[in-house]
Structure 1
Amino acid sequence: MLREVTATRYVTPLREGGSLPGIVEADDLGTYVMKFTGAGQGRKTLVAEVLAGLLAQRLGLRVPELVRIRLDPVIGLSEPDEEVQDLLKASGGLNLGMDYLPGSLGLDPLAFTVDAAEAGRVVWFDALVGNVDRSWRNPNLLVWHGEMWLIDHGASLIWHHNWPSAPASRDKPYDASDHVLAPFAPDVAAAGAELAPLVTEELLAECAAAVPGEWLLDEPGFADPDELRAAYVRTLAARVPGLAERVVLGEPTRDGPSRAPGWLTGARPPRRRSDAGGRPECESGQERGVRR
């Protein structure tokens, strides 16, 4: 079960994300990157964040701590940006937070070296969860205290946006040609040999159990959250056998469009110099200058 905290102050929006996450302070004196149930991409992105993020942690990959955050929309009354105000008003109740890593920088593959073994583990994991949003265009990797951290898994588990397609995802190849770690010759075979035995139904069920039940309600074709959790477990478990052999590493599409789905790329707002309150926008996944 994820720890639960209560948001006490909204600090600033992070405008690089299509869902407009924000930095908040909480009653445990921590600072978090908060993702909202009222965002246009919907609560399924939060489900993917929890399930994929916890699974990555259990496999030994570095993912900032995830927490449940209670939000009282009243904290947004003084927010000058109407877009942010609307988002806070629509997100009262339970939301998702990711531990803020102060001073972290987005990973630049030209400046930071990743060994083939670690690159292989990340690529294998992304293949398991079907993450389409860790490309050279948008790495979703941070460097903090000299180590690589994985963030932003909302674009994983694409099949849960269309559950009838889930069984077919079992044997679907994963094209890692545009993966940000592809240049480091990821040893996917070794990663599969190491990680596949760890991905048991028991482990997947433990991760799925941490997804708040209220985010799993009213899914067509499922009677209750437990039935839906079982479907996540079943779909991911079926994908594990032979996964490493289905990872494709070809020539990157440097001059082509992103392979991410339109709902992901099209939702990103245009960049601007500052928000309505005159605050500078974030230049990386974790805005610099905010202290814990």
Structure 2
Amino acid sequence: MTVLMDDGAEYEAVMKISTGMELGTEALMNEMLGSLIAADLGLAVQEPFFVELSAEFCASIPLPSIRARLATSCPLAFACLDAGKQWRGWNATDRISSAQEATAVSIMAFDAFTGNSDRRPGNPNLLVKDQEWRLIDHENSFSYRLRLFPRCQPWVVGNVAGMIASGAPSEHIFASHLIGRETLSLAPIKASWLALSDARLAQYDAILPVEWDATRPYLLEALQHIRRVRETIDPCLTELERILL
């Protein structure tokens, strides 16, 4: 999409609307929260923002099926800046260099600790440009109530083992690349998670737009989970270390 900003600037963006999504506005909230937390943990994401869908815009779409989806969607959508043609998706032939190792294990920890099983070989959700990476697509993170078994509890022994199960739906794209690397360091991951203060978590809550207010119970559940990860970061990292080393 081309979006018009409040200051008159125009940007190319990738937009998600609530209609047609399995989780509706909850998926949009997950996108918002995932982008914010990832960025605060030092992981690169596409800049996120909200997009207002005007009635005039929705009515202008010539394709009936798309026009109907837009007309029945929440009037506030989630979007992020389009990365451009110089970026591509991660593929099976990509490798992790020594310089990328710390970022790779941080991404794997982020997915393990937020319950994101959707960065897998068949759907990597990772943009690549030379040695740079950017995370995309967080809609399936934090949906703890929908995945009761195994529930995301990375502080529990064996909880994240599915991330290294070759061929399983839960296999992480970095698993086979990181297993057995003796140079992995988890100390920076601990520091970044401990830096997620209660004040910052409250800001995530404050950012939630009124149009998505029905998702606040799920947001609060996600924030409580993040607090639990922060408070049990040592056993969480022990479990990550257990599967990789």
TM-score by length of 2: 0.77
- Check whether the contact 2:28–2:139 (CA below 8 A) recurs between aligned residues: yes
Match of 2:88 in 1: 105
2:155 pairs with 1:176: no
CA-CA distance at 1:44 after TM superposition: 0.7
> Using the alignment, how far apart are the partners of 1:134 and 1:77 within structure 2?
35
The structure whose residues are more often helix, as a share, is 2
Q: Match of 1:26?
A: 4
Deviation at 1:198, TM superposition (A): 1.7
Compute the RMSD of aligned alpha carbons: 2.6
Name the structure 2 match of 1:116.
Answer: 101
Q: Give the SS at the match of 1:61.
A: coil
Asked which structure has the greater RCO (Cα within 8 Å, sep 6+), the reply is: 1
Structure 2 counterparts to residues 250-261 of structure 1, below 5 A:
none
Distance 1:184 1:33, change over 3 A: same
Partner AA of 1:214 in structure 2: E
Question: Aligned in 2, Cα 1:24/1:39: closer, same or farther, shift over 3 Å?
Answer: farther
Q: Could you tell me how far apart the structure 2 residues matched to 1:188 and 1:71 are?
A: 45
The corresponding residue for 2:67 is 85
Alignment partner of 2:198 out of 186, 189, 201? 201
Identity of aligned residues (%): 24
Alignment equivalent of 1:141, drawn from 126, 136, 142: 126
More displaced 10-residue stretch of structure 1: 235-244 or 41-50:
235-244
Runs of 4+, deviation exceeding 6 Å: none
1:223-282 deviation per Cα after TM superposition (whole angstroms, max 9, x unaligned): xx4x665433222211231212233648xxxxxxxxxxxxxxxxxxxxxxxxxxxxxxxx
Q: Which of 5, 16, 19 matches 1:38? A: 19
What letter corresponds to residue 236 of structure 2 in structure 1? L
Shift of 1:83: 2.4
| Matched residue SS, 2:110 | helix
Aligned-pair CA distance for 1:208: 2.9
User: Is the CA contact 1:119–1:184 (under 8 Å) kept in the aligned structure 2?
Assistant: no
Unaligned 5+ segments in structure 2 are 165-170
Q: 1:193 to 1:228 in 2, by over 3 A?
A: closer
The 1:249/1:79 distance shift into structure 2, 3 A limit, reads farther
Unaligned runs of 5+ in 1: 1-22, 220-224, 251-292
Aligned partner of 2:46 among 64, 83, 87: 64
